[in-house]
Structure 1
Amino acid sequence: MVPREGASGGFVLFVNMAAVILIFYFVLIRPQRRDQERQKQMIAAIGKGDEIVTTGGIVGTVIRADPDRLIIKTGGETKITVERSHIARKSSADDRSEFDPITGQNR
């Protein structure tokens, strides 16, 4: 008997598709899940006294932390209630500019 040509074509196609799916998972999905987990941990760890930046770009210092919301002081006596899900990141000393927009000079 002569073996049929293309009989293993379906198996090769299956192996190739599985390889593409695995590459897609390890390149795109897994790092995104890791980043989401880090973001959740960072948001859960925010407490009183931390300086944060919201997704809307508002910068403030946390004066009260509730399980779902934070009350932040943005300047002067202005206080804003923000949901934890709208926190983009913690602000650090590196984020703060040395330029004072009021005086127009470096601090």
Structure 2
Amino acid sequence: MPVADGGPMALIIQFAPFALIIIVFYFLMIRPQQQQMKKHQQMVTALKRGDNVTLSNGMIGKVTRVENDEAMVEIAQGVNVRVIKSMISTVQTRTAIAANDKS
């Protein structure tokens, strides 16, 4: 009958698949999410008056005022709403060319 104790090498071989799964999980799930959050944070901190934004609920508007954690967004003429900056999903600057423009 073989001895159950294989020494330290058997222990390494037993835990190697778990370590490999954790490493793959980090590079396929955690790291890309962190990069995406960092990019979104940079976008929100660069927010300025006059930028066209899309909110997380789908509303599109123009930034009229920027404060520390909040922004005032005009969603219709004369209709301003106060939103938390982190709820802004995309930002298009005033100088950005529209997608359907040819020039």
For this structure pair, what is the TM-score category when the shorter chain's length is used for normalisation?
0.7 to 0.9
- Residue identity in the other structure for 1:27: L
Q: Percent of counterpart pairs with the same letter? A: 27
Partner of 1:73: 74
Name 2:13's counterpart in structure 1: 12
More displaced 10-residue stretch of structure 1: 26-35 or 72-81? 72-81
Equivalent residue of 1:74, what SS?
A: strand
Structure 1 consecutive aligned stretches of length 4 or more whose deviation exceeds 3 Å = 3-6
Aligned to 1:42: 43
**Separation of aligned partners in 2, 1:33 and 1:4:** 46
In structure 2, distance between residues paired with 1:17 and 1:73: 51
Query: Which blocks of at least 5 consecutive residues in structure 1 are unaligned?
Result: 99-107
What TM-score does the superposition give when structure 2 sets the normalisation length?
Answer: 0.80
Aligned to 1:60: 61
Q: Secondary structure at the match of 2:32?
A: helix
Give, as a single letter, the amino acid of the residue that structure 2 aligns with 1:79. N
Please, which runs of 5 or more residues in structure 2 have no aligned partner?
Answer: none
CA distance in 2, matches of 1:83, 1:18: 39
Give the secondary-structure state (helix, strand or coil) at the position aligned to 1:42.
helix
Residue type at the aligned position of 1:19: L
Report what 1:88 is aligned to.
89
